[in-house]
Amino acid sequence: MAKSKKKYVLNPETLMVDVQEETRIAGWQVALVSIAGLAIFLLFILLMTFVLHKDLPKTAILRHTNAEWNTRIDQMSQQLDHCDMLLTMLEERDDRVYRSVYGMDEIPQAVRRAGLGGEKRYADFSGTAVLGIVRRLDQMEKRVFIQSKSFDDVSTLQRSAGDLASHIPALSPMDPSTYRLSSAYGYRMHPVLGYRKMHTGMDFACPPGNPIYVSGDGTVVKVAHERGGYGNHVEVDHGFGYKTRYAHMSRIDVKLGQRVTRGDCLGLSGRSGLVSGPHLHYEVMYRKDYVNPALYMDLSIPQEDYVTMVKKPEN
């Protein structure tokens, strides 16, 4: 039971001494009240959690915050999807239009989409919802860099596009009055091997010693002397994806790495290599594929016009 204690207090209005009693609560009563309060709090928690399926206030706040972040991550993922689509369109246009126009090879997808490697760079994000976002951002950053570099390369080549006309192999490699076209581009019966085979160029039959002229501006990238195959031959890189080959020569008058302009003499015709008779085998390659040389030159050009376009070989 609670115990009472008398206390004497002067009343300032009546100037009399009043007697007041103070009730003291026993310690066990305080403890009982505390236990009861704790029990009620625990019952409240159990009621909220198991009966009403409600989160505790702190848990509810954390759950709400987590939901907000998940929403933001979903929004970032959608934005990355949109950026990925736009970047893919740029990459396809770059390969199929810009690089193709200037004869540049496509950039392989294995290069464009190669990973950065090294899992340690993602150690801080391991097991989190943002790991995928960080990986995609890194890969996209690399793709943007590669695409930017490609545009720089195309721009550099575009500034010299005014020279494209002089680089295309449009000149016949021989004076029209000095040869006979003995074999065109396409499948034929090989004159030496004796079976049907793709003929990747054109054959200009002529006596040995006939001058051979380069069909467009470029750089000599190969000078070879072989016993079989093409025999003595020269390859010229014209840029913009074009290369030409001049085979079965008897004499070569140019050197590896030499710059040549359309109409320069490369050497003289012959019958070196695998041949059945003296002739020039002439090939045009565009982006590593053989194409029909006749599509690029006018074989009906008057002889006097042709002579004005070429430089006679030095004796």
**What does the pLDDT look like over 84-101, one tens digit per residue?**
888 888 888 888 777 776
- CATH number for region 166-309: 2.70.70.10
Most confident by average pLDDT, 105-109, 152-156, 178-182:
178-182
Integer angstrom CA distances of residue 285 from 48, 111, 139, 289, 308 = 79, 25, 35, 5, 26
pLDDT of 166 higher than 80: yes
Return the higher-pLDDT residue of 235 and 75: 235
pLDDT of 237 higher than 70: yes
Please give the Cα distance from 98 to 282 (Å, whole number): 29
pLDDT of 172 higher than 70: yes
pLDDT at 207 (0 to 100)? 93
pLDDT at 236 (0 to 100)? 98
Please give the Cα distance from 29 to 34 (Å, whole number): 9
Which residue ranges make up each domain of the chain? Answer: 3-51, 57-159, 166-309
Most confident by average pLDDT, 138-147, 163-172, 277-286:
277-286
Q: Is 130 helix (H, G, I), strand (E, B) or coil?
A: coil
pLDDT at 49 (0 to 100)? 59
pLDDT at 118 (0 to 100)? 62
pTM: 0.59
Most confident by average pLDDT, 15-24, 91-100, 118-127, 200-209:
200-209
pLDDT at 274 (0 to 100)? 87
pLDDT at 173 (0 to 100)? 97
Write the DSSP string, 217-283. Answer: SEEEEEEE--SSTT-EEEEEEEETTEEEEEEEEEEE---TT-EE-TT-EEEEEB--SS-SSSEEEEE
Please give the Cα distance from 279 to 203 (Å, whole number): 6
Tell me the average pLDDT across 113-128. 69
Please give the Cα distance from 63 to 59 (Å, whole number): 6
| CB atoms near residue 11 (< 10 Å) | 9
Tell me the average pLDDT across 178-191. 86
pLDDT of 27 higher than 90: no
| CB atoms near residue 120 (< 10 Å) | 7
pLDDT at 5 (0 to 100)? 58
Lookup result for tokens 């190969």: 222
Return the higher-pLDDT residue of 268 and 150: 268
